[in-house]
């Protein structure tokens, strides 16, 4: 039979159920553990009463003071070869035992909502695992339901969800998933948000008395929602250059929530570098002043890769800006446009939504004699007729990340789209975040 089974619940956390508690029709593994999120004396099918006894080693159902066998995939006495089986001490914490990240580590759970499932599957593939079984559905009246179909107790959970359109639905899905995983006793909950919404709704509002004002940020309210439901760590991808994340910097998250911004510029550059002709001059420009640091990074990477390449951007006389965005479109803002003749032009932007700004710039520099025009954007939102707008423009190619899902039908509508996956970037961040070599983890005083 079995030596002991632990049951957790309102009726007694960690109490021992001995052999007299009930007899099973089949043998359970000696290391079987029974978990219950509710009172042990509840109805036999109360939520949380099903108890996992380890993959490949059977399962049991705790009802009242009796223990019933549900399944027994492997008879007692046969050595278990399942790497996820708790009967193998070395497999309980494989990353800690082996002192490096172990692909397919069962301590790690990748959970995805409905906003960007393909990216989550790509991340899981890079980590040698799979996306956990989590059902996120919508009722006819619009309410959202989240059901975890597998145990996350004691696991390191990473929830991936892009806050793209439909923004509010995806936001609530993320909030409910964090809450569900937290209530299911996950060891740590990390939210991975490749595309963070409400970043533009930051403004200063006049208040009372007169001559006073206060700052209002919708992004900060979104961050507060995630913190309230129990997120432990947040990963973001390519935020706008002027976005402050930490509370100490006046940012959107409080100082109790670590926030990590993943820089995807190197991924974009790896796809860009082979498209530049070293025999021609290159101009890097951006439509928005706030994206100048992003464009400067592109210039820096190109200069390091092609040391003899003539790159003109940012600080020099060829700086191009349009203050105020599309509303103040003025071609005269271009300084010395004649210098664009026979140059390759790289247009850098944070996101492409309607495609109008990127197309206008491409058409303009092409009219001034530019040879090749390539667009770079971290986030390809591509709303409504954006694919057609890009397709008929003078852009030769638009490189975007898959932080926002790009359906195949949009790619079919615009043959100029080049989608770059951030799955390897996120997977590497998860590896570093999941495994910490405690012997070398030292806090240094500044």
Query: Which residue shows structure tokens 């991936």?
Result: 160
Q: Where are the domains of the chain?
A: 1-92, 100-262, 265-421
Per-residue model confidence as pLDDT tens digits over 230-261? 999 999 999 887 665 654 444 788 888 999 99
**What CATH code would you report for 265-421?**
3.40.50.2020
b/e code 18-54 from CB counts within 10 Å (16+ = b): eeebbebeeebbebbbbbbbeebebeeebebbbbbbb
Residues of the chain with pLDDT > 90, as a percent, come to 44
How confident is the model at residue 296, as a pLDDT? 81
Mean residue pLDDT of the chain comes to 73
How confident is the model at residue 320, as a pLDDT? 37
Query: Of 337 and 257, which is predicted with more confidence?
Result: 257
Q: In which region does residue 369 sit, left (phi positive, over 0), alpha (psi from -120 to 50) or beta (all else)?
A: left
How confident is the model at residue 312, as a pLDDT? 56
How confident is the model at residue 3, as a pLDDT? 33
Q: Which two tokens stand for residue 286?
A: 């951006």
Between 46-50, 331-335, 356-360, 378-382, the lowest mean confidence (pLDDT) is in 46-50
How confident is the model at residue 291, as a pLDDT? 83
Burial level of 124, CB count in 10 A (0-12/13-18/19+)? buried
Per-residue model confidence as pLDDT tens digits over 180-238? 999 999 999 999 999 998 876 655 555 555 555 555 678 889 999 999 999 999 999 99
Between 25-34, 90-99, 135-144, 340-349, the lowest mean confidence (pLDDT) is in 25-34
Identify which of 163, 185, 184, 164 has the alpha carbon closest to the alpha carbon of residue 175. 163
Between 163-177, 244-258, 263-277, 396-410, the lowest mean confidence (pLDDT) is in 244-258
Same fold, 100-262 and 265-421: yes
Query: Of 336 and 52, which is predicted with more confidence?
Result: 336
Per-residue model confidence as pLDDT tens digits over 140-170? 999 999 999 999 999 999 999 999 999 999 9
Class of domain 100-262: alpha beta
Give me the phi and psi of 390, to 5 degrees please: -70, -40
The predicted model gives 355-366 an average pLDDT of 92
Run of H or E residues at 51: strand 50-52
Q: What is the pTM of this model?
A: 0.73
197 CB-near residues (< 8 Å, 6+ apart): 163, 164, 167, 170, 171, 219, 222
Per-residue model confidence as pLDDT tens digits over 47-104? 333 333 333 334 444 444 444 444 443 333 334 444 444 444 444 567 766 677 888 8
Burial level of 195, CB count in 10 A (0-12/13-18/19+)? buried
Is residue 245 a contact partner of residue 252, using CB atoms and an 8 Å limit?
A: yes
How confident is the model at residue 341, as a pLDDT? 81
How confident is the model at residue 373, as a pLDDT? 94
Q: Which two tokens stand for residue 434?
A: 């999941």
Between 83-97, 367-381, 418-432, the lowest mean confidence (pLDDT) is in 83-97
Residues of the chain with pLDDT > 70, as a percent, come to 63
How confident is the model at residue 85, as a pLDDT? 46
Measured N-to-C along each axis, helices 423-434 and 117-126 cross at an angle, to the nearest 10 degrees, of 60
How confident is the model at residue 334, as a pLDDT? 53
């Amino acid at each position: 039979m079995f030596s002991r089974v632990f049951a957790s619940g309102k009726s007694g956390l960690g109490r021992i159920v001995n052999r007299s508690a009930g007899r099973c029709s089949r043998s359970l593994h000696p290391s079987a553990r029974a978990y219950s999120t509710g009172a042990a004396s509840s109805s036999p099918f109360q939520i949380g009463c099903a108890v996992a006894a380890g993959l490949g080693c059977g399962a049991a159902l705790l009802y009242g003071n009796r223990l019933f066998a549900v399944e027994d995939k492997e008879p007692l006495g046969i050595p278990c070869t399942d790497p996820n089986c708790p009967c193998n001490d070395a497999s309980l914490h494989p990353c800690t035992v082996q002192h490096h990240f172990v692909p397919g580590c069962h301590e790690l759970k990748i959970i995805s909502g409905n906003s960007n499932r393909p990216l989550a599957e790509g991340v899981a593939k890079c980590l040698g695992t799979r996306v956990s079984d989590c059902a996120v559905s919508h009722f006819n009246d619009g309410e959202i339901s989240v059901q975890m179909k597998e145990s996350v107790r004691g696991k390191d959970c990473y929830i991936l969800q892009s806050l793209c359109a439909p923004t509010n639905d995806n936001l609530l899905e993320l909030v409910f998933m964090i809450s569900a995983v937290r209530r299911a006793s996950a060891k740590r909950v990390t939210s991975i948000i490749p595309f963070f919404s409400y970043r533009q709704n930051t403004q200063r509002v006049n208040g009372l008395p007169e001559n006073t004002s206060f700052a209002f940020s919708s992004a900060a309210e979104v961050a507060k929602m995630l913190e309230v439901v129990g997120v432990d760590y947040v990963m973001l991808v390519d935020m706008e250059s002027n976005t402050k994340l930490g509370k100490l910097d006046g940012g959107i998250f409080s100082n109790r929530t670590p926030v990590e911004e993943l820089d995807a510029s190197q991924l974009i550059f790896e796809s860009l570098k082979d498209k530049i002709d070293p025999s021609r001059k290159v101009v890097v420009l951006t439509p928005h002043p706030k994206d100048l640091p992003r464009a400067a990074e592109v210039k820096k990477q190109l200069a390091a890769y092609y040391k003899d390449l003539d790159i003109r951007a940012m600080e020099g006389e060829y700086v191009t800006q349009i203050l105020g965005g599309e509303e103040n479109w003025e071609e005269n803002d271009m300084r010395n446009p004649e210098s664009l003749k026979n140059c390759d032009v790289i247009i850098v932007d944070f996101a492409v939504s309607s495609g109008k700004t990127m197309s206008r710039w491409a058409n303009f520099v092409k009219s001034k004699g530019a040879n090749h025009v390539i667009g770079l954007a971290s986030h390809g939102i591509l709303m409504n007729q954006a694919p057609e707008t890009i397709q008929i423009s003078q852009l030769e190619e638009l490189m975007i990340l898959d932080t926002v899902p790009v359906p195949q039908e949009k790619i079919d509508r615009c043959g100029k789209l080049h989608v770059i996956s951030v799955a390897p970037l996120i997977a590497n961040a998860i590896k570093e975040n999941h495994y910490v070599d405690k012997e070398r983890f030292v806090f240094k005083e500044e």
